[in-house]
């Protein structure tokens, strides 16, 4: 299996997903928002994972620019909230790509190919994903009730609970595909967040940051499933979750 191709395709799929779907037509300071990959895709391989840091740094710069808009008079704070949630998810996604491939590279370098296949088996992936899903559940359970009252959010948590009990990679793959589709609800917070209620209680930005952090874990889960299922099955790269 060519890990470099899997790595490049994963990054490219994520960039397309965020730039051409989530961030389409969104502006920061009157400039269209786009995550800049520079020359990362053309130059990256399993031995130069540090290049992913360029993308992460660019995302963090965009988050700072987005936050700076809060100081503008008559700025619609809902724009900040939705943009922060998307960029936070993107940040987590690319960090997860780097972490996952660092782990895979370690296993590959420290074992023969046959031994690596034994370590990277179905049970390994199932245990890893189930544990990650449980962590996300814990994050959402700690969110204020006002942020998770919509049925769409509760449906996502039901899917997560199913993943924690899964013992089959194929079933996990199907559930994460459904999670990605339903996650679009969270990327539009004005649909389910009552901003006036948040402002009345205390600084609502704190709630948005907490929601962003919890939501970002969904992208981390999807990325992990995408990478590990492709590697363990020794596929050339079969788009399964990110492309929906």
Phi, psi angle pair for 141, to nearest 5°:
-65, -20
Assess whether pLDDT exceeds 80 at residue 230: no
Per-residue pLDDT band for 186 (boundaries 50, 70, 90) equals low
Tokens standing for 220?
């981390």
Q: Does residue 212 surpass a pLDDT of 90?
A: no
User: What is the model's pTM?
Assistant: 0.75
Residue 45 confidence (pLDDT) above 90: yes
Evaluate if residue 225 carries a pLDDT over 90: no
The CA distances from residue 196 to 69, 84, 200, 202, in Å, are 19, 18, 6, 10
Percentage above 90 pLDDT, the chain: 19
187 phi and psi angles, rounded to 5 deg: -75, -5
pLDDT tens, position by position, 58-104: 999 999 999 898 888 887 777 887 888 889 889 988 998 998 889 88
Strand partners, 28: 31
Domain boundaries, the chain: 3-232
Better pLDDT: 214 or 233: 214
Q: CB of 93 within 8 A of CB of 100?
A: no
Assign 238 a pLDDT band (cuts: 50, 70, 90): very low
- H-type alpha helices, 183-238: 195-201, 204-232
Mean pLDDT, residues 31-37? 92
Tell me the C-alpha distance between 227 and 101, whole Å.
Answer: 8
At a CB cut-off of 8 Å and minimum separation 6, what does 189 contact? 78, 81, 82, 85, 208, 211
Look at 151 and 15; give whichever has higher pLDDT.
Answer: 15
Binned at pLDDT 50, 70 and 90, residue 239 comes out as: very low
């Amino acid at each position: 299996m060519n890990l470099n191709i899997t790595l490049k395709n994963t990054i490219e799929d994520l960039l397309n997903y965020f730039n051409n779907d989530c961030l389409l037509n969104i502006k920061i300071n009157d400039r269209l928002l786009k995550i800049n990959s520079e020359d990362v895709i053309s130059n990256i391989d399993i031995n130069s994972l540090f290049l992913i840091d360029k993308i992460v740094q660019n995302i963090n710069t965009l988050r700072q620019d987005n936050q700076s808009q809060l100081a503008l008079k008559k700025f619609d704070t809902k724009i900040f909230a939705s943009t922060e949630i998307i960029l936070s998810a993107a940040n987590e996604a690319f960090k997860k790509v780097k972490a996952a491939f660092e782990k895979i590279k370690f296993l590959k370098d420290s074992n023969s190919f046959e031994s690596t296949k034994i370590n990277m088996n179905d049970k390994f992936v199932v245990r890893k994903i189930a544990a990650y899903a449980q962590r996300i559940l814990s994050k959402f359970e700690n969110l204020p009730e006002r942020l998770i009252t919509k049925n769409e959010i509760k449906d996502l948590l039901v899917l997560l609970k199913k993943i924690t009990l899964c013992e089959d990679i194929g079933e996990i793959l199907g559930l994460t595909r459904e999670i990605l589709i339903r996650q679009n609800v969270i990327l539009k917070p004005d649909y389910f967040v009552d901003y006036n209620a948040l402002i009345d209680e205390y600084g609502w930005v704190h709630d948005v940051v907490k929601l962003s952090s919890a939501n970002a874990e969904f992208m981390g889960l999807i990325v992990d499933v995408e990478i590990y299922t492709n590697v363990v099955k020794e596929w050339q790269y079969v788009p399964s979750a990110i492309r929906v």
